[in-house]
Amino acid sequence: MNRNQYDNDISTWSPQGRIYQVEYALEAVKQGSAAVGLRSKTHAILLALKRSSGELASYQNKLIRIDDHLGIAIAGLTSDARVLSNFMRTEAMKSKIMYNRPLPVYRIVSAIGDKSQVNTQNYGRRPYGVGLLVIGVDETGPHLYETSPSGNFLEYYAISIGGRSQSAKTYLEHNYESFADADVDELIVHGLRALHATLQQDKELNTLNCSIGIVGQGQKFEMIQDVDLQRYLDMLGPQGTGDQAAASQGEAPMDTE
């Protein structure tokens, strides 16, 4: 490939109008394990697959609480996610101190976009290697956003990022029309089905490799982990093979990114 000439630093364009360093950063997000987000009229939820490097290791946390009304799921470089989440926490507190009201979701997401963009245009810097799914509730209701190393961000009804996330997207695309009026439990089951679609053959969702985050009008951001997950996994029913969820829609899941 001819891109070796144009991929050495962030401030070089390729003749096709691409900045390869940014695209390489996006690759880091795709290498992370899957995270799914979806929302209804009253709630927004996140579900994530936790990875462990081996039997002796713990499972990496994917969900971070930012404030009572804000939470994120991460995919990519965990250390970069820590920096961004600390930034978000500081901004959330500043908002309460200065304006006496919780930080509107759009504000913090666009602040991350602006912060991320700086690293795509200054020589010697590198983009943040993490994509976030941000859920939050403000005066205009529940929201779900995706942010990326490029500085782009977009609002969604449902989205997934990370490894094999296309399979989850397919499930979400087929089912999103029923999300708006779903109650929290139904939303979670949809999310778990979407997450399940990203699993490799013979793997299953269990209380160790899963985590759920919920925020809603009148409900503070709450994380569900470990034994508390069992009740939702039971609602999911028998998991069978990885094809089960999408196959019930009459289509085999795609295993590509």
Partner 1 sequence: MSFYPYTDNGGSALAIAGEDYCLLASDTRQSGEDYKIHAGYVPKAFKLTDSCVYAGVGFSADGVALVKRVRQSIEWYRHAHEKTMSTPALAQMIATVLYSKRFFPYYVGTILGGLDENGRGVVYSFDPVGSFEAELHKAVGSGAELIQPFLDNQVNLKFLPEVERTPLPLDVALQIAKDAFTSAAERDTKTGDYLEIFIIDREGVNVERFDLKRD
- Scanning 100-150, the segments in alpha helix (DSSP H) are 105-118
Select 59 or 157, whichever has its Cβ closest to partner 1: 59
According to the binding rule CB under 8 A, does residue 235 interact with partner 1? no
Select 68 or 204, whichever has its Cβ closest to partner 1: 68
Q: Specify whether the CB–CB gap between 37 and 159 falls below 8 A.
A: yes
Q: Least distance (Å) from partner 1 to the CB of residue 233?
A: 23
Q: Specify whether the CB–CB gap between 137 and 143 falls below 8 A.
A: yes
Size of the site for partner 1 (CB under 8 A): 4
d(CA 20, CA 6): 7
Q: Least distance (Å) from partner 1 to the CB of residue 184?
A: 22
According to the binding rule CB under 8 A, does residue 50 interact with partner 1? no
Q: Specify whether the CB–CB gap between 58 and 186 falls below 8 A.
A: no
Q: Least distance (Å) from partner 1 to the CB of residue 119?
A: 24
DSSP assignment, residue 113? H
Stretch that binds partner 1, among 34-42, 89-97, 175-183, 209-217 (CB under 8 A): 89-97
Listed residue (156, 239, 147, 143) closest to 198, CA to CA = 239
> In this chain, which of 65, 107, 126, 203 binds partner 1, going by CB under 8 A?
65
According to the binding rule CB under 8 A, does residue 97 interact with partner 1? yes
> In this chain, which of 30, 50, 51, 89 binds partner 1, going by CB under 8 A?
89
Q: Least distance (Å) from partner 1 to the CB of residue 226?
A: 13
Select 100 or 200, whichever has its Cβ closest to partner 1: 100
d(CA 177, CA 161): 20
d(CA 164, CA 31): 9
> Largest alpha-carbon pair distance within the chain?
54
Q: Per DSSP, what are the bridge partners of residue 63?
A: 73
Q: Least distance (Å) from partner 1 to the CB of residue 101?
A: 14
d(CA 63, CA 74): 7
Q: Least distance (Å) from partner 1 to the CB of residue 93?
A: 5
Contacts with partner 1 by CB under 8 A lie at 65, 89, 93, 97
